Structure 1
């Protein structure tokens, strides 16, 4: 590759072993030059201003400043730098927050090296690159006519999804299987949505879902 095709990349992750591993991996890939690493969003902003990378590989959950806020700031202050989220989290709330902040790519950390390289190349050209599972979730929500915001009582999209499943009479185990999450995660979502909506049991949750148009009674 010619020098003009080299993508200058900044790696942002709060875990040292992950940062170092990504740097080692990226240095093996053609067309990529690592120009720096940052341990949080605040440090990333300083390095983007100093190094002007083409692409930032951004983690989401970090101290001081998380990836969503850092992405928003980078896109506002340095529009020539694109952001690819590379994270453990693929839940609806994380995905939509990152995309609304201006991320052009979203990959989970089990992505293959070739997928990371492709994402870097695509977002640098102004295209988007999404993890297949993330892309499928977006398509499902679009086809269902649902929006990732404006839910009642501060419910997240995932909490609304769990609530809708409860209204369909699904057990925690069935919800976990449908949404590809653990039963423990289902219970966490239920506890949160109960607290937000003020319902005390599943019967009240079903009534709430019907009342707010989050589910439709059968028949």
Structure 2
């Protein structure tokens, strides 16, 4: 897994690089001090995952995430920050980040989160999920919404919202992995959503 580390604190960049390179499954292909440097590296190297801080000079992590996801669709972005600001969380996820985790997590937990994202899951730390639910509840409309989804589609969406992969959904619902994948694809098309991250957010916002 080829990783780009983006943080304006050199000590944190170096520490994360050491931690990740202790794992055989990670290869740190670059480090950047801001979002603009990250964009430049993504255009020059084969980056699979970006570990992104939020508050940085020149170009912050929220805008950098938006630019990376629009230019390099296959690159996954995980926000790693100390900030639990409501707007940061909303904007980062809206811009396509596959995860939002905090620097207070242990190194083992951070590594596990990155592995989960590369397996196709979305990863939100519990505190982030709680904050996101609070934000969403404030915005949620009172009337019941009808999205014309079948019971099975609702089940699939709920499990995506809980962070399960297609393989895990298939096992839980006694489906083939291909069938689970087709359900997710159909949900994205029906709800006009881009990816699993948006589907998970849609579930949290409108259904859960």
**TM-score w.r.t. structure 2 length?**
0.64
Deviations 1:97-145 (A, max 9, x none): 1111111111111111122112211222221001110012223444xx3
From 8, 18, 22, the counterpart of 1:14: 8
Q: Distance in 2 between matches of 1:52 and 1:123?
A: 17
Give the alignment of 1:146-185 within 5 angstroms.
Answer: 146-147=138-139
Please name the residue that 2:130 is paired with. 136
CA distance in 2 between counterparts of 1:139 and 1:61 reads 23
Superposed CA RMSD in Å reads 1.5
For the residues of structure 1 that align with 2:100 and 2:91, how far apart are their CA atoms? Answer: 11
- Name stretches of at least 5 consecutive residues in structure 1 with no aligned partner: 1-6, 149-219
Does the Cα contact within 8 Å between 1:58 and 1:67 map onto a contact in 2? yes
2:121 pairs with 1:127: yes
- 3-state SS of paired residue (1:84): strand
- For 1:31-46, list aligned pairs within 5 A: 31-46=25-40
Q: Determine which of 21, 28, 33 is the counterpart of 1:27.
A: 21
CA radius of gyration, larger in: 1
CA distance in 2: counterparts of 1:39 and 1:85, whole angstroms: 14
Equivalent residues in 2 for 1:1-219 (5 A)? 7-142=1-136, 145-147=137-139
In the other structure, the counterpart of 1:172 is none
State the secondary structure of the residue aligned to 1:34.
Answer: strand
Quick one: distance in 1 between partners of 2:139 and 2:15? 36
Relative to structure 2, which stretch is displaced further, 36-45 or 118-127? 118-127
Alignment partner, residue 192 of structure 2: none
What's the TM-score, normalizing by structure 1?
A: 0.61
Structure 1 outlier segments of 4+, above 4 Å: none
Structure 2, unmatched stretches of 5+, are 141-208
**CA separation in 2, counterparts of 1:98 and 1:112?**
22
Q: Determine if contact 1:40/1:65 at 8 Å carries over to the other structure.
A: yes
